Structure 1
Amino acid sequence: MNCCGLLNAEKEPVPLKSVEVELEVRDHVATVVSTLNYENKEDKPLEAVFVFPLPGDAAVCHFSAKIGQTEIVAEVKEKQKAREEYDDALSSGQQAFLLEESDQSPDIFSLSVGSLRPGESASIRLEYVTELAVQADEGLRFCLPAVLNPRYQPRGSEDVCIQVTSVPASLVPYSLSFSARVSSPRPVSKVESNCPLDALQYLNTEQTQATVKLVGGHKFDRDVELLIYYKDAHQPTAVVEAGQASAKPGSLMGDPVVMLSLYPEFPQAVMSSVASCGEFVFLLDRSGSMDGSRIKSARETLLLLLKSLPMGCYFNIYSFGSSYEHIFPKSVEYSQKTMEEALKKIEEMGADLGGTEILEPLKHIYSQPCIPSQPRQLFVFTDGDVGNTKEVIHLVRKNSGSHRCFSFGIGEGASSALINGLAKEGGGHAQFITDTDRMQPKVMQSLRFALQPAVMDISVKWDLPKGVSVTALSPPITALFQGQRSLVYAQLTGQSSEAAEGCVTVKYSLAGHPSQNQLHFSLKPAEDTGLPVHRLAARTLIGSLEMEERESRGEQEEGVKKKVVELSVQSGVSSAFTAFIAVNKGDGEVLQGPLVVRNVPTPRMMACCMPMPQYRKSFSPVVQLNSYRRPQSKVSESSLPKQPPRDPLLQLVSLQKASGCWVLDPALAAALGKTSRKVEKSKPASVNQEVWGTILALIWLHGFKMDAQEEWELLAMKAVSWLRAQNAPCVTECVEAGNALLGFNVQKDALGI
């Protein structure tokens, strides 16, 4: 077996020596500066090719290289022109550097370091800006991706142009130094990470500025995730950023740009009601890379989801790998019978369907007619090793009028472009679940969003002083959720006085009632910011145009492409149709002899090895992704390990009926930790067994499992609704008897009955 990754003829590792990353977070905008240090230890000129992941919505805005004392700054050019310039430079003996986005997925970049002389070092500086997403617990998530899992290519698809070479994570031959500076108008309450951090250092008494570092000597063998928490994080804000002095007034870079962060607050009366209808379609990844704890966690999550669905809704469960399956031919009404049938099938699900072909099951789901008065809600669970990301997102966008899509990226290396793109184009919400997280709380939060009344007729109205006009740069808002942030970018043209104010009003209809949220903001622009807001606005506009280009044909398509290239060059932000190119035109000696091509390995989190891929025949950086399939093997039933005992919470939940009640039987008594005789004996005489069983289950949940309330809250609400509908006598007496039996003191009001 050959270990994949870059090894030279003497089996020595690659020339990437170290990676330094400086992160600056201002409120919820992150500017990331990465420095990659290379050294050629060989006796021949070397070309290194490093393929690496970035956040899918990052705006790459600076790229430069320093060799000795010479620094060369890259320019953004049309992609084919940049590739030709790179090849020409190399063939004429000059040094050159090329950075380009993958044609298939906007979160994969390849960096070609053209011709390092023997013994020579080069320092590459790469800068990008990105928005930080709000998590379920109100933390802002920053992820520095290290793991680039091989992206699975659908059968029959054309080869993708990026060559991923990867090594076992423990053998990554370069280290990472990482430091972050955080500032916000509100105090920074804490910063957490999946990697060891030095203590948080506050820079002022208000605690609105702080720095934090990774503990030294960190091997860059896994994603680095930071969670940043502010006090009162849900405040709407507006940032107006001055334009670039050298750019033409009236252009995107020359005018001020405003970024609004809106947090809609909905009336409590609306939020406490839960929809009693909907078509819920769950799409589960069962490819080989989901094996182990991931598929187990997904099965447990589906149990909680099914128990939490409202009576009267419809549902179906699809699973996919190289092929796909569905439990029912079409969505069925939710009942005790259909729920039991689905749960039985879920128990049998393993990570045994091969590759990751998500496009075909999505097409099948969208080909099913929608059910009248049952809005479709799609939940997608995947570890995101997909090669045709842009095609998948495009399909979701095409069907965005008929459904909402909630997406979950499972484990390290999940494609941020895929997970965020599905939710953004599907008007839903994205969550990332690393292998240390419990999946259930995040998924149940998304189900709560899905059960919120859909917000309709969203419009954004600007009220600005005379002489100032506004051009929206963001696509129209299509989804609003309680407490979740919506970002809006707009260009401001014209002059206003220093003290001038603007106002923006978001109007929408919620559960049939007109509602609005308003934000007043100062028009005085912030100077010397490094233009992160302009670059994010440009990236947003480029993203919309790239989608438009995929939907247009012929001359129109060329026109949109031209617009993207112009905007990308003007703003200095990368796109699908441009690349960064830097050529060292100094008067150094011309390189002699053929170049040796080296692929720099990216860490992977799999314990398998693959053959070293063949690279390319010419200098142009053709990139190809390896497909990965887990070999199938037959295992006899007797050799399978015995199932471990189920978690007590899941044991209790599994006994709940679709209607929301629990039946008093030996299994319920065992889940409550009591004998059947004791449970039966404690029952007040006038109460039926289902009411008694349901009240006991609710007391147990409140008494034992308050730390996991977000996981069982919805199914408990369903149980309470069922109890109210029974008009049962002696509820107070039941609660007292239940507390006495289980040893708690849970109040009737706390149970909601």
Structure 2
Amino acid sequence: GLLTRQKEPVPLKSISVTLSIREFVAGVSATLNYENEGKDPLEAFFVFPMDEDSAVHSFEAVVDGKKIVAELQEKSEARTNYENAISQGHQAFLLEEDDQAGDIFSCNVGNLPPGSKAALTLKYVQELPLEADGALRYVLPAILNPRYQLSRGSEGGGLQMKTPAVPSKDVPYTLSLAATVSSQHAIKSVQCSSPVNPIEYLDDKTSAQISLADGHKFDRDVELLVYYSEVHTPSVAVEMGVPAAKLDSLMGDPSAMVSFYPNIPEAQSPTACGEFVFLMDRSGSMHCPMNNQNPSQLRIQAAKETLIWLLKSLPVGCYFNIFGFGSSFESFFPESVKYTQDTMEQALKRVKSMDADLGGTEILEPLKAIYSRTSIPGHPLQLFVFTDGEVNDTFSVIREVKSNGQRHRCFSFGIGEGASTSLIKGIARASGGAAEFITGNERMQSKALRALKRSLQPVVEDVSLSWDLPAGLSAKMLSPEPSVIFRGQRLIVYAQLTGTMPPAEATGKVCLKYTLQGKQFENQVAFSLQPKSDANLTIHRLAAKSFIQTKDMGFEETPANDKKEVLKISMECGVISSHTAFIAINKDLNKPLQGPLTRSDVPSPMLFVASVSMAILCFLSSYKALFSYHPSASLPNSYQSMSYPKNGYDPHRFTINKSLHSLEFLNDPLVQLISLQKADGSWDLNEGLAVVLGMSLGDMQAALPVKSVDSSGWATVLAVIWLHDKYKDMKCEWELLERKAVAWIHSHAGSAADGLVKAAVGFLKSSVDPAVFAP
């Protein structure tokens, strides 16, 4: 059952994680400690999330003092060997990536005798993404939400959980984490989403030590934000290969990791062209809170507010449409429409009545529908996908996006803990877009508007990477050639250096070139060609992972030629893929089995409200009763027995009064002001604006300094100044709105604009610098 509470002792006792962050790369060692407290031999099965960028390269077991190092094998072979070992009375351990998603792993512990203890350690490395404020972000996923299975034909969709799930507060095992952060640049600060012991800064703040406070609860992912004094310095790191490895192999040759931070200037006049399609998750789980704090905005509320921001921020002259998806999907317009005051108002009206009422999470069909539409000449498609990411056919979705990658860019947003990193990052990578995750107290609006700003910037063209190396040495790219670069984005690529390495004092150069609005730009970095030794072969592992990600479309989806390459690199470098698995067998334990093993499925932590809402909503939608369901209707017997926490999710809650929902939603003055802005960027001088500004409409009309000027010019100036006065710290969210407003003021008020601004500053008793209205 989905909500099983374990009554028997759970063999997984604790998880301990050791984390080492050097610059922007994390090395992680996670140990799962098992103990069989029962009377019979045991097989334990545990499913857990992991960031899909993780390059898992080591797996070993220590059983009652004996160490067994796992071997990486082709997945089918590993599974067969595991079953054979168990049947022969041996002890076996299997670690594999899920067939359908690159961010879910499973661990099998086979034949653990009564009283026996086993410590299983897996190691991985990953790049850390760079946030807009300069933070490097590490996330240890703790929450694993169920994945919704795509319905195929008449089979119907449903929730897929390979192990039981329990509310995060009831997880029967503990988690500890100790981290060391080091950098050649000073560490400004380290922040954590969970309670930590006092942070120790060492060596002039070039290193820091952090550990979780005792009693950590699995009520959220563990997130670290690391702020260095300098993060935008381009660099090249060269790592020595393995001397014993075969020549001209990835592990035998040196590997280079190149990091660029192109200083792309911001265009003052964003492009007005483009077809902007917003694909919004309206599945049942979107009725969950954004975080576990009380009170917390519901995900669907944050999504609706975000859509209002996006609609108001679009440039006049573009095209747009909005899709909602769940078990089915619907669009606001049959085709994308031109952005005008009329179409914006139509869309706004539908956004305000939108709800999380479409059942499951099936994203593939709406994507196909969007891609089937005829392209609009001169308006490249920009797709914005918002989802909590609980889908099971991840690789199928990524493949669909990739097959249409040349005709659009996809900006993806993972909402809340448990969102699939494999889906969110995969669809962005497949289309040259960008991925964002919204967790904790982060606002969806700020990240969505940042992505919209990127999409409105002129396209960077003719991107190329060239190497200047000594004779006899060449660079073989392991990452895809960069095709798109966004302002403020870091670019990381990997290469294999083949040929003869020169003397120690030799240097090389790598150059990034691109064209922006007819101007050519160039970033060049010189680096030493003396490779550094690293026992963990971090750069080689990351390079292998980068290569695998471009080819691996899942256990069942990868084309034969690509599968052959993935297997070769995976096996050669010891980095797991969807086609390989780690297996360890302890043949010292050779006791004939007395009957079958007792199976123990270790429960995974889940945000409780998410699990219940998805179970109820997906069940009802499969009976086509989602829209007609009434609180007095009876549930099938199997669902009547479910218990709900007093502060948890009410199974009837999805019939919540929509007018009340909208009332709460529109109570925010900032939302109210944005809702009143017109498509061209202006505001009308009316009672609605007066209420938001907290003023009398009569006083506002009387204060109009130039009677011959349209009152909308006066209203627009007042609105912009109010934004600066009241919500200055949220400028990233209304900057595009302001830009439209200022452009409108200058085109309509003309020479009277300066007078309007001066009068408005005085009328509002504001300290805003009139320079914000400069054209």
TM over 0.5: yes
**Do structure 1's residue 374 and structure 2's residue 379 form an aligned pair?**
yes
Which residue matches 1:41?
37
Greater relative contact order (CA < 8 Å, ≥ 6 in sequence) = 1
Offset from partner CA, 1:479-513 (integer Å, 9 cap, x none): 10112011110001221111111111112221232
Which residue matches 1:248?
246
Within 5 Å, give how 1:197-596 maps onto structure 2. 197-205=196-204, 207-268=205-266, 271-292=267-288, 293-493=298-498, 494-547=500-553, 557-586=559-588, 589-596=591-598
Q: Distance in 1 between matches of 2:286 and 2:607?
A: 12
Which residue matches 2:164?
165
Offset from partner CA, 1:379-415 (integer Å, 9 cap, x none): 0000000100001011111101100100000000000
Shift of 1:551: 8.0
Which residue matches 1:597?
599
| Contact 1:168-1:603 at 8 Å conserved across structures | yes
**Do structure 1's residue 68 and structure 2's residue 90 form an aligned pair?**
no
Shift of 1:592: 3.3
| Contact 2:467-2:509 at 8 Å conserved across structures | yes
Q: Distance in 2 between matches of 1:706 and 1:717?
A: 15
Which residue matches 1:731?
753
**Do structure 1's residue 698 and structure 2's residue 720 form an aligned pair?**
yes
Q: Distance in 1 between matches of 2:618 and 2:195?
A: 33
| Contact 2:278-2:323 at 8 Å conserved across structures | yes
| Contact 1:76-1:578 at 8 Å conserved across structures | yes
SS at match of 2:581: strand
SS at match of 1:607: helix
Q: Distance in 2 between matches of 1:640 and 1:750?
A: 38
Code of the aligned partner of 2:763 = L
Code of the aligned partner of 1:702 = H
Which residue matches 1:619?
none
Offset from partner CA, 1:565-605 (integer Å, 9 cap, x none): 22211111101111100000225544433201111111111
Code of the aligned partner of 2:753 = V
| Contact 2:315-2:740 at 8 Å conserved across structures | yes
SS at match of 1:729: helix
Q: Point out where structure 2 has 5 or more consecutive residues left out of the alignment.
A: 289-297, 631-654
Q: Distance in 2 between matches of 1:226 and 1:627?
A: 34
Which residue matches 2:181?
182
Within 5 Å, give how 1:52-67 maps onto structure 2. 52-67=48-63
Q: What TM-score do the two structures reach when normalised by structure 1?
A: 0.93
Q: Distance in 1 between matches of 2:147 and 2:661?
A: 31
Q: Point out where structure 1 has 5 or more consecutive residues left out of the alignment.
A: 614-625
Which residue matches 1:99?
95
Shift of 1:144: 0.8
Shift of 1:130: 1.1
SS at match of 1:413: coil
More moved, 468-477 vs 584-593: 584-593
**Do structure 1's residue 26 and structure 2's residue 22 form an aligned pair?**
yes
| Large movers: runs of 4+ above 6 Å | 157-162, 548-552, 608-611, 626-631
Q: Distance in 2 between matches of 1:642 and 1:570?
A: 57
**Aligned CA distance change for structure 1 residues 90 and 331 (closer, same or farther; 3 Å):** same
More moved, 316-325 vs 180-189: 180-189
Shift of 1:120: 1.0
**Aligned CA distance change for structure 1 residues 639 and 504 (closer, same or farther; 3 Å):** closer
Code of the aligned partner of 2:722 = W
Shift of 1:529: 4.5
Which residue matches 2:130?
134
More moved, 742-751 vs 89-98: 742-751
SS at match of 1:303: helix
Shift of 1:679: 0.6
Which residue matches 2:669?
648
SS at match of 1:228: strand
More moved, 280-289 vs 643-652: 643-652
Offset from partner CA, 1:599-628 (integer Å, 9 cap, x none): 1111111337779x9xxxxxxxxxxxx977
Q: Distance in 1 between matches of 2:686 and 2:594?
A: 84
Shift of 1:5: 4.1
Shift of 1:707: 0.7
SS at match of 1:354: coil
| Contact 2:146-2:161 at 8 Å conserved across structures | no
Code of the aligned partner of 2:240 = A
Q: Distance in 2 between matches of 1:232 and 1:642?
A: 44
More moved, 296-305 vs 728-737: 728-737
Q: Distance in 1 between matches of 2:512 and 2:658?
A: 61
Offset from partner CA, 1:94-122 (integer Å, 9 cap, x none): 10000111110011111100011111111
More moved, 657-666 vs 627-636: 627-636
Shift of 1:562: 2.8
Code of the aligned partner of 2:733 = E
Q: Distance in 1 between matches of 2:659 and 2:263?
A: 54
SS at match of 1:581: strand
| Contact 1:318-1:327 at 8 Å conserved across structures | yes
SS at match of 1:298: helix
**Do structure 1's residue 146 and structure 2's residue 142 form an aligned pair?**
yes
Code of the aligned partner of 1:215 = A
SS at match of 1:190: strand
Q: Distance in 2 between matches of 1:749 and 1:490?
A: 47
**Aligned CA distance change for structure 1 residues 161 and 74 (closer, same or farther; 3 Å):** farther
Which residue matches 2:764?
742
Offset from partner CA, 1:335-371 (integer Å, 9 cap, x none): 0000000000001110110000000000000001111
Q: Distance in 2 between matches of 1:459 and 1:473?
A: 15
Match of 1:671 among 692, 712, 723: 692
Q: Distance in 2 between matches of 1:372 and 1:149?
A: 41
| Contact 1:6-1:600 at 8 Å conserved across structures | no
SS at match of 1:24: strand
SS at match of 2:72: strand
Q: How many corresponding residue pairs?
A: 729
**Aligned CA distance change for structure 1 residues 281 and 309 (closer, same or farther; 3 Å):** same
What value does the CA root-mean-square deviation take over the aligned residues? 2.2
Q: What TM-score do the two structures reach when normalised by structure 2?
A: 0.91
| Contact 1:247-1:253 at 8 Å conserved across structures | yes
Offset from partner CA, 1:520-563 (integer Å, 9 cap, x none): 111111113511110011111122232499887xxxx4443233
| Contact 2:270-2:456 at 8 Å conserved across structures | yes
Q: Distance in 2 between matches of 1:629 and 1:524?
A: 63
**Aligned CA distance change for structure 1 residues 362 and 745 (closer, same or farther; 3 Å):** same
Code of the aligned partner of 1:243 = G
Q: Distance in 2 between matches of 1:49 and 1:725?
A: 66
Which residue matches 1:622?
none
SS at match of 2:147: coil
| Contact 1:294-1:435 at 8 Å conserved across structures | no
Shift of 1:518: 1.4
SS at match of 2:663: coil
